[in-house]
Amino acid sequence: MNAETRSKIPVALTIAGSDSGGGAGIQADLRTFAFHCVHGTSAVTCVTAQNTLGVVRVDAMPSEAVVAQMQAVVEDIGVQAAKTGMLLNPEIIAAVAQQVETLEIDNLVVDPVMVSRTGAQLIDDDAIKTLRQQLIPQAAIITPNRYEAQILSGFPINSLDDMRAAAQMIHRNLKAKTVLVKGGGMQGNARGVDIWFDGNRLEILTTQQVDTQNTHGTGCTLSAAIAANLAIGKDLLTSVKQAKEYVTTALAYSLSIGKGQGPVGHFFPLLRN
Ligand SMILES: Nc1ncnc2c1ncn2[C@@H]1O[C@H](COP(=O)(O)OP(=O)(O)O)[C@@H](O)[C@H]1O
Ligand SMILES: Cc1ncc(COP(=O)(O)OP(=O)(O)O)c(N)n1
């Protein structure tokens, strides 16, 4: 890559929390951006003390600090795409939503981090309300997991049909432009199947099911890979399909570290032997 090409490298921004265990959050996002040869920038929203067994403590950043990070990055460097992850509280969500509008951030991927794969609620009810009202309508795509889709649609999800109905309802009721309901938390044949709905087209996205308990960070990795592909200039559906392929490979190379759910292997596909 010569100097001229390097000066045109795509840039993506993650607005998310830190995971001390390195499996999810900004750590997963920045590795994913780097894997895609996209320069990664970040606005840290909170710091979690976390490992493969769960979240022990969360400390929020002041919303003004999150705003300052977003402004510093966008006003100087510029970004072609952004993703949000754990935004934690209503003040941070409202501030991020305001800045997305003011800074005219395009290609926004909202991973509405509310509930972990294990079913634990990560943000409070006021934060969920602010997310629905202020941020989701600005997203190019939102990527709820099974439990988040249950909260956003208001009904239980136990089958592919339920996932389909939830994607359509979230699109209609929340003015979300495109919805991807993720199936990592489903059982049986629906595990690892995702549903895409953009108001016209409904797609069932499948890859191989990977049999591993080391799935920590799959949602962050998927949304970061979508943002990276959008920053490169790919269209939305291609970005999602390729991001899903990447997550599947990273799952196949996931890491058995810690005593609980280990992280996916972001760079390990490079070490195939
Ligand atoms: N065991 C698996 N095999 C294949 N794909 C999976 C598996 N687990 C999760 N995925 C995929 O990983 C992505 C993230 O989904 P999910 O794990 O549901 O999100 P979250 O981490 O937000 O709970 C989705 O594309 C999902 O289909
Ligand atoms: C700091 C932080 N952000 C997000 C998450 C959730 O990670 P995600 O990839 O969406 O979900 P899991 O598959 O790990 O449940 C987190 N744990 N920490």
Position 6 scores a pLDDT of 72
pLDDT digits (tens, 9 = 90+) for 20-47: 999 999 999 999 999 999 999 999 999 9
Question: Taking the complete model, does pTM exceed 0.90, yes or no?
Answer: yes
CA 198 to each of CA 231, 236, 273: distance values in angstroms, whole numbers, following the listed order: 20, 10, 39
* 68-91: average pLDDT: 97
- pLDDT of 182 reads 98
Q: What's the mean per-residue pLDDT of the chain?
A: 94
Task: Please identify which of the residues 32, 52, 84, 215 carries the catalytic annotation.
Answer: 215
Region 71-95: mean pLDDT is 97
Q: List alpha helices for the chain, DSSP H.
A: 3-7, 25-35, 63-76, 90-102, 125-130, 146-153, 160-174, 218-232, 236-252
The C-alpha atoms of residue 231 and residue 227 are separated, in whole angstroms, by 6
Active site residue 219: yes
Tell which atom from ligand 2 comes closest to the C-alpha of 220: 9
Q: What is the pLDDT of residues 232-270, one digit of tens each?
A: 999 999 999 999 999 999 999 999 999 999 999 999 767
Contact 243 CB / ligand 1 (< 6 Å): no
- Beta pairing, strands 54-60 & 39-51: antiparallel
DSSP structural state of residue 89: S
Q: What pLDDT is attached to residue 121?
A: 78
Measured CA angle at 176 (ends 197, 19), to 5 deg: 95
Does the annotation mark 220 as catalytic?
Answer: yes
Residue bearing tokens 């999602």: 240
Average pLDDT in the 212-217 region? 95
Ligand 1 center from residue 49 Cα (angstroms): 23
Determine whether 32 is an active site residue: no
Characterize the bridge pairing of strands 194-197 and 179-181.
antiparallel
CA distance 2 to 6: 6
What architecture is domain 10-262?
3-Layer(aba) Sandwich (3.40)
- The minimum-distance atom of ligand 2 relative to the CA of 26 is 1
**How remote is the CA of residue 80 from the centroid of ligand 1, in Å?**
25
